[in-house]
């Protein structure tokens, strides 16, 4: 097994810093939009992972695809690394400048390029966040469902193949990105895909870039599928005696084909954090938080089916979020579970695991991971997009304690090994980043990883696109 | 525009025939399973396109992934082309041995490797056909929805990113292939993806191979998503005064988010063919053939919504296929439309177009294409997976008449140009093959096609994997 060791957790790599000539050229081209200020560099050298800060040498704030292309062309001329930066919410060290180089901040690329409501599509610049998108299209009667915990940028979400709570019904970024504008490693601009819902035209470059974590090119625009707001929405919570009961209920919901829109597991620890953070009074006991989308009758029917299944597994009566405001409050709390948990232990960092397994193996996968966490004595909490077989155990650790870091890493390793053994994946939605390079080899095999490396070398011969991530070249 | 000319329609290319030493090695390794018989070669040198027969030099009938790997290794040692062959139902010349070489017939790889009903997944060998799969899993309560017109092999369907009538609800092969076993250009065996429903682990090799048309490797096993058989299914037909009315109804169905499972357009010509072929008595007038999946109440509700929309556009009362047998007969007739139409003009071949556009442009796209076909005077018929914005005009032509071939090609060209102008694609589900290499450049742009070529060169440096297809190297 090619698992990360504490040695791997160091971010030190061979440095390829920005030379003075490049810096001069960047300043000439971008003026104030190129910064080497320490505070700016430091902000761009960290994410939500447990890695130490690893800042880039300079940051360019881009406002257009042409700007990104110009910056990449200059960097390529000096064989200097470029790392795209959206909101900094990565969990696997994606943004860290482990070889030095240039951070390309696309957060100012925050315009909706084209809303095509009649086609249920939208094209956005890469820096638009998921919440901004839904705010801006609210009056169209449409919405975009993909919702990772953070209010991430849509460019970053595409780059990490993100998903979230709605994926069980609406799919992930893999299914919902129709087309991309990409700046290649040589600074050319290409367009992948079209606005047609399906296509058999050539290699699927769109899905090659979705999930490539900035290592093959920089995504500057994203064309997405939208969905009509459902006629009816209802959300309910259901408490269970044990996590296993909630999981078994979920497995049956999926196997029966109930078109549930959201099916989230929270354990007692996660609920405790959420209660404190959001001032809620949820019972601190394993819970499914569910949402049903459809017609009035359809939503009622789905909920009745699920309530019946839940009862068979000791589930309590559904408690309903009856108003849109109640619903929003509940989901906002769920989305804040990560930040809520951080507050339960001042100064801590969270190591968040992210396996996904075939649905029939979900109970085994969660139960054993929880037992291991209990035995290890490190504070932890569980949330899961369990309808997809995807869940997160997060360990709260003192980043200055090598013992705690090592324990969390060992627990994570055991979980990943189990997921791979159960024919699942080492990451459902967070990506490989720095942390899971070895796990990718365990999961995909040396031959498949060699093929990924061939593609990387073909598209980025200078290895300047977010080097040191996804693959060990 | 890089559109095909009659010159392009010739299949003559630089030949790289199988040398005697390779033939001897193949015979030693495969015995009777390697054939150079004229009838066998000719059978493997044609498909359902209008191209002249272009046989390979030899055919190897493989029974396992290891067999395919061994054959590719031998071919690679001699830099001889290899072309995977499933059922021969391609429409764009995918199977033609334009550079000579070896046809690798996987039709004997027809076993279900693993049915994982509890996970809603199945793994099949590449030669399993879609009808065989559904027959063999019938008792599991699950089904596989993707259904191109032909009873194609699942390996071929993955390789061409096929879809069909259910794609509007269930997606295409892009969304429904979870993992693949692939023999690479050097004869290595890799596995892409896992049985987890989603993953962010590294480059999406699965979707790179889905739609790569055998040009990057040979797919030998396919892991697919399955779906629970819906509690209720109902199918209805609805006649409309004009094609435009049926199309406008469809656009509204999609924009409203009705979860219709199938929404097929047939014009009067297509119905005439189907009536004769299948002994039906459908009114020979534009028609939508629809299917609704869900709960009893849900199906009823969907149908009522759609009937109301249809009426607004002059649609007649729904006629219901009330029994499973009636339903099967109707859909079998729809699937046979292609072969039915061929029988309406003895000795003819069909040039089948395949554009897909954003749904709001569908009416413009179909109406203008039909008007052009009418003006040209060539017999034609229209069927469409219109819920996806995808439709086919098929021109029935005398393959020995250069005028008719040229007219069909011109009509097809006008249609493709229109689709690209409307932000759609030159092929929704048939693939690029030989025929649409120029159109791919028009659609994707030179930069994106150059990137595809870089990938092709990286993964197949000898250019032996189905050379001459998808890309002009």
End-to-end CA distance of chain A: 18
Q: Report d(CA B238, CA A397) in Å as an integer.
A: 63
- Secondary element (H or E) of residue B221: strand B217-225
Q: Strands B227-228 and B142-143, how do they pair?
A: antiparallel
CA atoms within 13 A on the CB side of A323: 3
Are B270 and B295 in contact, with CB atoms under 8 Å apart? Answer: no
Q: What is the mean predicted confidence (pLDDT) over A146-158?
A: 97
Q: Is B237 helix (H, G, I), strand (E, B) or coil?
A: strand
Residues B265 and B339 in one domain: yes
Instruction: Identify which of B120, B198, B440 has the shortest CB distance to residue A201.
Output: B440
Q: What is the pLDDT of residue A7?
A: 46
CA atoms within 13 A on the CB side of A172: 28
The C-alpha of B192 sits at a distance from chain A's nearest C-alpha, in angstroms, of 7
Tell me whether A462 touches chain B (CB under 8 Å). Answer: no
Q: Which of B203, B297, B415, B416 to mutate to test the interface with A (most CBs of A within 10 A)?
A: B203
Taking the alpha carbons of A207, A213, A216, A222 in that order, is the dihedral positive or negative?
positive
Residues B184 and B221 in one domain: yes
CA angle B101, B104, B107 (to 5 degrees): 150
Q: What is the pLDDT of residue A11?
A: 64
Last-in-domain residue among B173, B194, B228: B228
Give the residue carrying structure tokens 């001889």.
Answer: B80
The C-alpha of A214 sits at a distance from chain B's nearest C-alpha, in angstroms, of 11
How does pLDDT run across B18-53, given as a tens digit for each residue? 999 999 999 999 999 999 999 999 999 999 988 999
Residues B17 and B39 in one domain: yes
Residues B263 and B379 in one domain: yes
Are A218 and A159 in contact, with CB atoms under 8 Å apart? Answer: no
DSSP secondary structure letter of residue A219: E
Residue at A177 is within a domain: yes
> What stretches of A130-211 show up as alpha helix (H) in DSSP?
130-136, 154-159, 167-170, 173-176, 205-209
Q: What are phi and psi of A11, to 5 degrees?
A: -100, 5
Mean pLDDT of chain A: 95
Residues A272 and A394 in one domain: yes
Q: Report d(CA B94, CA B88) in Å as an integer.
A: 9
Q: Report d(CA B219, CA B441) in Å as an integer.
A: 25
Tell me whether A191 touches chain B (CB under 8 Å). Answer: yes
How does pLDDT run across A386-420, given as a tens digit for each residue? 999 999 999 999 989 999 999 999 999 999 999 99
Contact B174 A454 (CB under 8 A): no
Q: What is the mean predicted confidence (pLDDT) over B70-82?
A: 98
How does pLDDT run across B393-431, given as a tens digit for each residue? 999 999 899 999 999 999 999 999 999 999 999 999 999
Contacts A196 to B, Cβ<8 Å: 356-358, 389-390, 419, 423-425, 428
How does pLDDT run across A262-293, given as a tens digit for each residue? 999 999 999 999 999 888 899 999 999 999 99
Last-in-domain residue among A228, A246, A280: A228
The C-alpha of A409 sits at a distance from chain B's nearest C-alpha, in angstroms, of 18
Tell me whether B451 touches chain A (CB under 8 Å). Answer: yes
CA atoms within 13 A on the CB side of A139: 2
CA B143 remoteness from chain centre: 19
Residues B278 and B406 in one domain: yes
Residue at B443 is within a domain: no
Strand ranges, E, within A206-296: 217-225, 227-228, 232-239, 262-266, 287-294
CATH number at residue B245: 3.40.462.10
Instruction: Identify which of B160, B171, B201 has the shortest CB distance to residue A426.
Output: B201
Contacts B389 to A, Cβ<8 Å: 196-197
Residue at B472 is within a domain: no
Question: Hey, how many other C-beta atoms are within 10 angstroms of the C-beta on A391?
Answer: 28
Contact B444 A297 (CB under 8 A): no
CATH number at residue A137: 3.30.465.10
Mean pLDDT of chain B: 95
Residue at A472 is within a domain: no
Taking the complete model, does pTM exceed 0.95, yes or no? yes
Tell me whether B205 touches chain A (CB under 8 Å). Answer: yes
Q: What is the pLDDT of residue A6?
A: 42
Residues A158 and A210 in one domain: yes
Q: Report d(CA B273, CA B392) in Å as an integer.
A: 15
Taking the alpha carbons of A124, A127, A130, A136 in that order, is the dihedral positive or negative?
negative
pLDDT at A3 over 80: no
Size of interface A-B (CB pairs under 8 A): 285
Residue at B464 is within a domain: no
Contact A431 B162 (CB under 8 A): no
pLDDT at A424 over 80: yes
Tell me whether A167 touches chain B (CB under 8 Å). Answer: yes
If one counts the domains in chain B, the total is 3
Residue at B410 is within a domain: yes
Contact B174 A207 (CB under 8 A): yes
Q: What is the pLDDT of residue B363?
A: 94
Residue at B445 is within a domain: no
Residues B277 and B367 in one domain: yes
Residue at B35 is within a domain: yes
Burial (CB < 10 A; 0-12, 13-18, 19+), residue B454, is middle
Q: What is the mean predicted confidence (pLDDT) over A124-139?
A: 98
Q: How far is CA A112 from CA A2, A178, A227, B276, in A?
A: 42, 15, 17, 52
Tell me whether B12 touches chain A (CB under 8 Å). Answer: no
pLDDT at B6 over 50: no
Last-in-domain residue among B204, B228, B252: B228
- pLDDT band at residue B343 using 50, 70 and 90 as cut-offs: confident
Residues B198 and B235 in one domain: no
CATH number at residue B42: 3.30.43.10
φ/ψ region of B396 (left if φ > 0, alpha if ψ in -120 to 50, else beta) reads beta
Rounded percentage of chain B residues whose pLDDT exceeds 90? 88
> CA nearest B299 in A: which residue?
A298
CA angle B95, B100, B101 (to 5 degrees): 85
Q: Tell me what percent of chain A is helix, strand and coil, each rounded to the nearest 5.
A: 40, 20, 40
> CA nearest B298 in A: which residue?
A298
Q: How far is CA A95 from CA A176, A208, A472, in A?
A: 24, 19, 16
The counts of H helices and E strands in chain A are 18, 19
- pLDDT band at residue A335 using 50, 70 and 90 as cut-offs: confident
- Could you tell me which residues are beta bridge partners of residue A321? A235
Residues A290 and A331 in one domain: yes
Residues A251 and A366 in one domain: yes
pLDDT at A220 over 80: yes
Residues A210 and A247 in one domain: no
Domain of residue A199: give its range: 112-228
How does pLDDT run across B184-242, given as a tens digit for each residue? 999 999 999 999 999 999 999 999 999 999 999 999 999 999 999 999 999 999 999 99
């Amino acid at each position: 097994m090619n698992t990360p060791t504490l040695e791997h957790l160091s971010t030190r790599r061979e440095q390829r810093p920005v030379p003075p000539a490049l810096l001069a050229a960047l300043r000439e081209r971008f003026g104030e939009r190129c910064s080497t200020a320490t505070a700016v560099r430091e902000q761009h050298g960290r994410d939500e992972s447990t890695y130490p800060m690893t800042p880039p040498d300079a940051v360019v704030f881009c406002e257009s695809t042409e700007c990104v292309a110009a910056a990449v062309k200059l960097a390529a001329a000096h064989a200097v690394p470029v790392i795209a930066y959206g909101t900094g919410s990565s969990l696997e060290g994606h943004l860290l400048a482990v070889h030095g180089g240039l951070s390309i901040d696309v957060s100012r690329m925050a315009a909706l390029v084209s809303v095509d409501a009649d086609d249920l599509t939208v094209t956005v610049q890469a820096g638009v966040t998921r919440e901004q998108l839904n705010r801006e299209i609210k009056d169209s009667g449409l919405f975009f469902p993909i919702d990772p915990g953070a209010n991430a940028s849509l460019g970053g979400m595409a780059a990490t193949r993100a998903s979230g709570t709605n994926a069980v019904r609406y799919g992930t970024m893999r299914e919902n990105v129709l087309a991309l504008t990409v700046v290649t490693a040589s600074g050319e601009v290409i367009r992948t895909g079209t606005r047609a819902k399906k296509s058999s035209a050539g290699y699927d470059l769109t899905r090659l870039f979705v999930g490539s974590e900035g290592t093959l090119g920089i995504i500057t625009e994203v064309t997405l599928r939208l969905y009509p707001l459902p006629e009816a929405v209802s959300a309910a919570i259901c408490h269970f005696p044990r996590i296993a009961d909630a999981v078994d209920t979920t497995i049956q919901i999926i196997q029966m084909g109930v078109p549930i829109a959201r099916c989230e597991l929270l354990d007692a620890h996660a609920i405790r954090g959420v209660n404190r953070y959001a001032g809620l009074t949820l019972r601190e006991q394993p819970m499914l938080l569910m949402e049903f989308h459809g017609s009035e009758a359809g939503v009622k029917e789905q909920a009745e089916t699920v309530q019946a299944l839940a009862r068979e597994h000791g589930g309590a009566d559904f408690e309903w979020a009856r108003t849109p405001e109640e619903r929003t409050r509940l989901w906002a709390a769920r989305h804040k579970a990560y930040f809520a948990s951080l507050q339960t232990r001042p100064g801590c960092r969270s190591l968040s695991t992210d396996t996904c397994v075939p649905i029939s193996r979900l109970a085994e996968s969660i139960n054993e991971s929880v037992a291991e966490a209990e035995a290890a004595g490190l504070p932890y909490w569980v949330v899961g997009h369990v309808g997809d077989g995807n869940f997160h155990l997060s360990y709260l650790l003192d980043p200055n304690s090598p013992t705690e870091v090592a324990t969390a890493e060992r627990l994570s390793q055991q979980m990943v090994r189990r997921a791979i053994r159960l024919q699942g994946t080492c990451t459902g939605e967070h990506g490989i980043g720095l942390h899971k390079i070895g796990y990718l080899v365990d999961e995909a095999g040396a031959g498949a990883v060699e093929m990924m490396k061939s593609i990387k070398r073909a598209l980025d011969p200078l290895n300047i696109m977010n080097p040191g991530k996804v693959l060990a070249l």
